Amino acid sequence: MARSFIYDNIGFSEATLQAGSYVQTDDSFAFFANSALISNLDRLQDQNISVSLGLGWIQYEVVQVDLGSQKSPDTIATYHQDVAENNQLLIYASDSATSWVTDDYITTTSGTLPIDTWTVASMPVTNKRYIYMYNGTADNYENVSEILIGTKYDFDVNPELNAKTGEEFGTDIMTSYGGNEYANKRHEPKTTWDWNWSHILSTQKTALEDLNASVQDWKKFIYDDETTKHYVRMTKPVTFTEVAPNVFSANMSLREQLS
């Protein structure tokens, strides 16, 4: 197992989400949009893991994702807050805005959803505009607070051993006229990472350039260190230096996100 990034490289954060239902006829599923069925759909893509969907998304209700054009994601990650759930999403991908068929089936997500962490599943889609997800469990799917659809990149080469890990404190220190210090703690500390690669090949450079272009410094993404899936933001662009023909050094800095 390798360290990895999971990030939105298909514009899921900007995609149009619609709630609805479906009617099955043999191998065909007709989609009927109905905004009254699932409330607060924006919470699934607002890059905020602290506020859950809330009541809604009962069994067989559908969320349609319109990516705007044909895209090819390979991974889905869902974050679950406060209460563990056992809901499974059945996922299909289609070029139709009104239906999908049995052969459009992509995957069923895990039914084991622990609290306050990301659950990741493979979701291989090739050149499809619409993704259809419906709750396949006889229970409300209400404690999901974020969905991330995009790609998973496993590090070709891990950073150098002199990589820096630290903390960014969330405390304001104020000093009185008499020299006394007072502390106001605004939030818990955030972990920071500063990495260097001295030698990477063009394949890893291309992958990091795609991450650069996709998330920049405004989209949050997942850094999986093989033990914990951290929600992070890039603090500055990845920089590259060509140290030999088609061989590069690179530097990256990340900051943990608390919500």
Verify that 87 and 175 share a domain, yes or no: no
Distance from C-alpha of 225 to C-alpha of 128, rounded to nearest angstrom: 31
Q: What's this model's pTM, rounded to 2 decimal places?
A: 0.92
Pull the structure tokens for residue 148.
């991330």
Looking at residue 230, what is its pLDDT? 97
pLDDT tens, per residue, the chain with 259 residues: 689 999 999 999 999 999 999 999 999 999 999 999 998 999 999 999 999 998 779 999 999 999 999 999 999 999 998 888 899 999 999 999 999 999 999 999 998 899 999 999 999 999 999 999 999 999 999 999 999 999 999 998 888 767 778 887 767 677 878 777 777 777 788 899 999 999 899 889 999 999 999 999 899 999 999 999 999 999 999 999 999 998 999 999 999 999 9
Verify that 92 and 172 share a domain, yes or no: no
Q: Last residue of a domain, which of 136, 154, 172? A: 154
Verify that 150 and 170 share a domain, yes or no: no
- E runs forming strands in the chain: 4-7, 16-25, 28-33, 62-71, 75-80, 89-94, 99-101, 105-108, 117-122, 128-135, 144-154, 164-175, 181-201, 221-224, 229-234, 239-244, 247-256
Determine, yes or no, domain membership for 159: no
Count the neighbouring beta carbons within 10 Å of the beta carbon of residue 166. Answer: 12
Q: What is the number of alpha carbons within 13 Å of residue 76 lying toward its C-beta?
A: 24
Residue appearing with tokens 């349609």: 64
Looking at residue 177, what is its pLDDT? 80
Verify that 176 and 109 share a domain, yes or no: no
Give CA separation, 151 vs 10, 92, 99, 256, in Å.
Answer: 8, 17, 25, 20
Verify that 10 and 138 share a domain, yes or no: yes
